[in-house]
Amino acid sequence: MREQAEDLRREADRLLAAATTVSWQSTSADRMRARVEDRHREIRATADQVDDAAAALDAHAAEVERLVALIAAIERKVRSMISGALDRIRSAGNALIEGVKDLAHGRNPLDDLLAGFNPPPVGHKAWLDVPDQIPGVGE
């Protein structure tokens, strides 16, 4: 888009130069030059708007990249927490089977929450809501 804005500016300048170098002298020529100058300003203003649009697209792309990275970080943390919870639940279950400790006393409510958590698809924006659902994710 920035290249298009520069192309517009070059074309506007070329048209203005062509109109101002015409040797034709008359009221009509003066009016033609005035109209070309008006169009020159309008085309350059359009080029500025195209630059603004390019900057807005850059900002949007940066925000999308930031959110994608945030989603990935949340996803990694939750998957790690789930893995840890499942390991602790398995250990507690094995300990019960072996008669070492009572499963009911060794269970952490967060482990149960994590063990039953149904994660959103990889990279999905729903990951942004997960820190509100699972304590410790946003820390």
pLDDT in tens, 104-136: 556 678 888 888 888 999 999 998 998 888 888
Across the chain, the runs of DSSP E, i.e. the strands, are: none
Whole-number Å distance between alpha carbons of 82 and 88: 10
pLDDT given for residue 48 in this prediction = 96
